[in-house]
Amino acid sequence: MAMSSLLPGATTRGIFASSSSVLPCAGSRVERCNARRLAPIRCVGVQAETIAADNLFRDYKPRTAFLFPGQGAQELGMGKSAHEVGEAAALFAKASNILGYDLLDVCMNGPKEKLDSTVISQPAIYVASLAAVEALRAREGGQAIIDSIDVACGLSLGEYTALVFAGVLSFEDGLKVVKKRGEAMQAASDATKGGMASVIGLDPVKVQALCDAANEEVSEEDRVQIANFLCPGNYAVSGGLKGIDAVEAKAKSFKARMLVRLAVAGAFHTQYMASAVPTLEAALADIEFKVPRIPVISNVDAQPHSDPKIIKEILAKQVTSPVQWETTVKTLLSRGLENAYELGPGKVISGIFKRVDKNSPPVTNVSV
């Protein structure tokens, strides 16, 4: 997640044909906690050659980005135009063979409860997003756009999609890992009975204070934390159901404008998902990862990594680590991003860009 021989402007068609998804203001308490959490990725004692191998994209200068959505973006009817693009339809057919069920039929016809389940929604969004790349390729001028992409990132699950686009692993291998990831996260969710909620209208320091207040009233197994730093005024908290109930009960007293329960199976991006890590590590170990041909920004630390071994390690950490999406967007914009495309269902990412910076470049949505 060998494509390393491809130059950044090279076509990605071979990738899909191969057989082989915010840190707050500087100095805040939340930022310091996150910095301590992320530091081990480049800890003292890592061999110099490993650090050097991982620094290929240290000074990357993004101009045009591909952005891939994560779980929650699924919607009934997605994939409805896949049959109009041969390569997109082929991806759904390959996926159905790997998964053992007709994925496109589930995307089109549901039922919604089935599509929304973790084990189905993750492969569905992954395939629909890469099918959107093929839909773009089929348009006039689409290949030129694809060739111009010099950075990719994805929201949680979307990081896997971005890594496939960047040539790190094949479509088939990526789907196999995503399938295992969804199954492992569902199993962890069934075992822990957690949930998530978006807190709207507060900065991250106040959201952390809200979590702290909620945690004073629940037992250790129901504690909550910030799990997703999406954009200013929108931070998702994750944890035990009683902890989420406590957050909801206290949100108004903290001046939150709104609290929205998220339709997810469990407490994603926290230690509640720890039991999913060994399964995911085993799945990743079985897959060959290659050096990305373009930078792919990690959800864990908002940095691009080039060492395949480190990419695998970070992906395993991703399910228990907060998503640093606001920092990712701010970094892309500060480094000169000029244009972006959101590939896949929904328009969540394009909305986030405007929330981070109302003067951000346009994000064009492409879906099938």
Whether residues 138 and 230 fall in one domain = no
Classified as helix, coil or strand, 259 is strand
Whether residues 94 and 185 fall in one domain = yes
Would you say 151 and 297 are in contact if contact means Cβ atoms under 8 Å apart? yes
Catalytic residue among 129, 156, 189, 360: 156
Whether residues 115 and 126 fall in one domain = yes
Whether residues 77 and 177 fall in one domain = yes
Whether residues 70 and 174 fall in one domain = yes
Residue 8 lies in a domain: no
Whether residues 253 and 291 fall in one domain = no
Q: What is the 3-state secondary structure (H, E, C) of 82-130?
A: HHHCHHHHHHHHHHHHHHCCCHHHHHHHCCHHHHHCHHHHHHHHHHHHH
Q: What are the pLDDT digits (tens) for 158-205?
A: 999 999 999 999 999 999 999 999 999 999 999 988 999 999 999 999
Quick one: pLDDT band at residue 265, thresholds 50, 70, 90? confident
Domains held by the chain: number: 2
Whether residues 242 and 282 fall in one domain = no
- Rg of the chain over CA atoms, in angstroms? 19
Domain residue limits at 168: 64-191+269-366
Question: Which pairing describes strands 64-68 and 339-343: parallel, antiparallel, or unpaired?
Answer: parallel
- Does residue 156 have an active-site annotation? yes
Domain C-terminal end among 205, 233, 262 = 262
- Lowest-pLDDT range, 12-21, 94-103, 132-141, 174-183? 12-21
Q: What is the mean pLDDT of residues 222-229?
A: 97
**CATH number where 204 lies:** 3.30.70.250
Whether residues 70 and 167 fall in one domain = yes
Would you say 257 and 200 are in contact if contact means Cβ atoms under 8 Å apart? yes
Range among 24-33, 37-46, 301-310, 351-360 rated most confident: 301-310
Whether residues 156 and 231 fall in one domain = no
Please give the single-letter amino acid code of residue 313: E
Whether residues 183 and 207 fall in one domain = no
Give the Cα separation of 242 and 193 in Å (integer): 10
Residue 28 lies in a domain: no
Catalytic residue among 21, 189, 238, 269: 269
